[in-house]
Structure 1
């Protein structure tokens, strides 16, 4: 795989160095919306973990089988992650589960370079409508890095 791809994947893994610091967030803040009407810190972590798990369980097998990537309706998918965060799972357990899932995903990505670089469709579309870049799992991971940073900035604004 090209160096840029490896850097993108390592950057994806390194995000857990920052999420490890969230163990210090007071319990009183963990499930409080940031800002009002938005997801809480716990819900955001659950949301990120849920997407990583989806890549492992659904997206990678689809690409391996010669299929494109199919992403579900974001709102209902995210809602289930938010519900999980509020289900009674402890902050530390959820953070550890996120880190474990992210590291497992990164290990797969580094081992499956042909799957990562393969051009595939996303919900039937071949190129990103915003950048015209052909879709691949590596492109999605690049986008997810930006997504991680968006949520990191949301959380940093309140802690």
Structure 2
């Protein structure tokens, strides 16, 4: 297996284990904002769910085709809707949805060939490799996970 692919898959598997561990936090901790005026832990985790779904359904299938990639959804709107859903859902439901979506993302990445990990593609004006694209997404995850760790200490 391509080393870049292996590294991204390992990070995503680690993210699943990390989010799964949040099942042990109290309801009060789960609903605590990561900073004053910011989202709660629940909302932070919840906002990752639709982005995984978008990547799996609208990005990966088209990355190496002649079809142009669809424009990303409105970030503010998608994040606000996801945060709202997370406020209404139980901790178990949000964690379960995250784990299910992340599992689908990992499965989709497993189906990408080593050759595809070597080629570049375009999103808008940006030329990217799979490693660069997914490294950015992994960094985004861990940025939020560190915020959550900080508030839970």
TM bin, normalised by shorter chain, reads: 0.7 to 0.9
Are 1:84 and 2:77 an aligned pair?
no
Answer whether contact 2:4 2:117 (CA < 8 A) is retained: no
| Partner Cα distance (1:21, 1:111) in 2 | 27
CA contact (8 A) 2:64 2:121 kept: no
TM-score (norm 2): 0.86
Superposition pairs for residues 35-114 of structure 1, below 5 Å? 35-63=35-63, 65-66=65-66, 67-68=68-69, 70-87=71-88, 89-113=89-113
Q: Which residue of 1 aligns with 2:32?
A: 32
CA distance in 1, matches of 2:36, 2:148: 13
Residues 23 and 91 in structure 1, CA contact (< 8 A), matched pair in contact too = yes
Q: Whole-Å Cα distance in 1 between the matches of residues 74 and 100 of structure 2?
A: 25
How many residues are matched? 150
Structure 1: give runs of 5+ residues left out of the alignment: 128-134
User: 1:143 & 1:74 partners in 2: Cα distance?
Assistant: 16
Which blocks of at least 5 consecutive residues in structure 2 are unaligned? Answer: none
The CA RMSD over aligned residues, in Å, is 1.9
In 2, distance between residues paired with 1:116 and 1:86?
Answer: 37
Q: Determine if contact 1:109/1:116 at 8 Å carries over to the other structure.
A: no
Instruction: Looking at secondary structure, tell me which structure has more strand per residue.
Output: 2
1:121 aligns to what SS in structure 2? strand
